[in-house]
Amino acid sequence: MDGSRGEATDMRAALLRMRRSGLLPVAFGGLVSGAGARQFRISELVGADTDSLRGLAVRTGNGLGGKTLALGRPYAVTDYGSSRAISHEYDAAVAGEGLRSVLAVPVVVHRQVRGVLYGALRQPYALGDRPLAAAIDAARDLEQALAVRDEARRLLASCQGPVAADPRAWEEVREAHAELRALAVRIPDTRLREELLTACARLASAAAPSSPAHPSLVQLTPRELDVLATVASGATNAVAASRLRLRPETVKSYLRSAMRKLGAHTRLEAVTTARRSGLLP
């Protein structure tokens, strides 16, 4: 999974959502480079006429975005160049794009500010609740996408090295695998969802004791695998239904279908057979 490219795609999707609201014709933003970083670079722009902002390094506390990065709260100014609420290190770049009213919202993942989204107008109009809400909604979407990518990276990393020889570590992988499948079904982005499910399949096949040259002949549907993975983590039907946003009766139906395909008579037998077949880690 290409993290930087995927995050850039997620960022652009969030900015396009802001622009499509019709309230913020110019949108741009960037992500911090790592934990504890004190700056970010503006990497993606939508609706811009120039490249004056592209690549701009925004330090914590400086300008509107730096203030948002430092305090983790949204801020807006009606006229960027004359505002007394911010410092003015980036006036030339902002003026080069002809921006006047600008808002900035933080992108917060696991209580850490991971970046900033901006929305702007070329007129000095007060930005009210509706533009701010559009920007916050886009930030929430981006936060979810980044959290999913973080979990996917953690999950993939957990299956490297000594994990395969450590039963306790594999239990952690299995729990994360179930959580990731449950999270994937909630993601509207088809491309990202497929990336996550592909990562899940890699984990499952890595754990299988059988040779990759002899793959399982059993074919479970994605939903059957979701239910089986959740049940394998120790969840009851009711808990599985809550995690997967299904009715308990539907979970029971998927589980029965998976057991029939696997030739299993109990939940434990179904999970064990699925693991031996490379369908679950």
| Confidence at residue 269, expressed as pLDDT on a 0 to 100 scale | 94
The phi and psi torsions of 46 (rounded to 5 degrees) equal -130, 125
Widest distance between CA atoms in the chain: 73
| Confidence at residue 200, expressed as pLDDT on a 0 to 100 scale | 83
Q: Is the pLDDT of residue 22 over 90?
A: yes
Q: What is the mean pLDDT of the chain?
A: 87
Q: What is the pLDDT of residues 222-262, one digit of tens each?
A: 999 999 999 988 889 999 999 898 999 999 999 999 999 99
Average pLDDT of span 255-280: 92
In the 8-state DSSP scheme, what is residue 80? G
Closest CA to 7 of 31, 35, 38, 37: 31
Residues 267 and 3: their CA atoms lie apart, in Å, by: 36
| Confidence at residue 162, expressed as pLDDT on a 0 to 100 scale | 46
Structural contact between residues 162 and 169, judged by C-beta atoms closer than 8 angstroms: yes
Average pLDDT of span 22-38: 90
Residues 229 and 235: their CA atoms lie apart, in Å, by: 9
Structural contact between residues 127 and 80, judged by C-beta atoms closer than 8 angstroms: no
Q: Is the pLDDT of residue 46 over 60?
A: yes
| Confidence at residue 142, expressed as pLDDT on a 0 to 100 scale | 93
Structure token digits, residue 73: 């709260």
Q: What percent of the chain has pLDDT over 70?
A: 88
Q: Is the pLDDT of residue 23 over 90?
A: yes
Model pTM score: 0.72
Q: What is the pLDDT of residues 165-223, one digit of tens each?
A: 555 667 777 887 888 888 888 777 777 788 778 878 877 776 655 544 445 578 899 99
Q: What is the pLDDT of residues 117-148, one digit of tens each?
A: 999 999 999 999 999 999 999 999 999 888 87
Structural domains in the chain, CATH included, are: 2-160 (3.30.450.40), 218-280 (1.10.10.10)
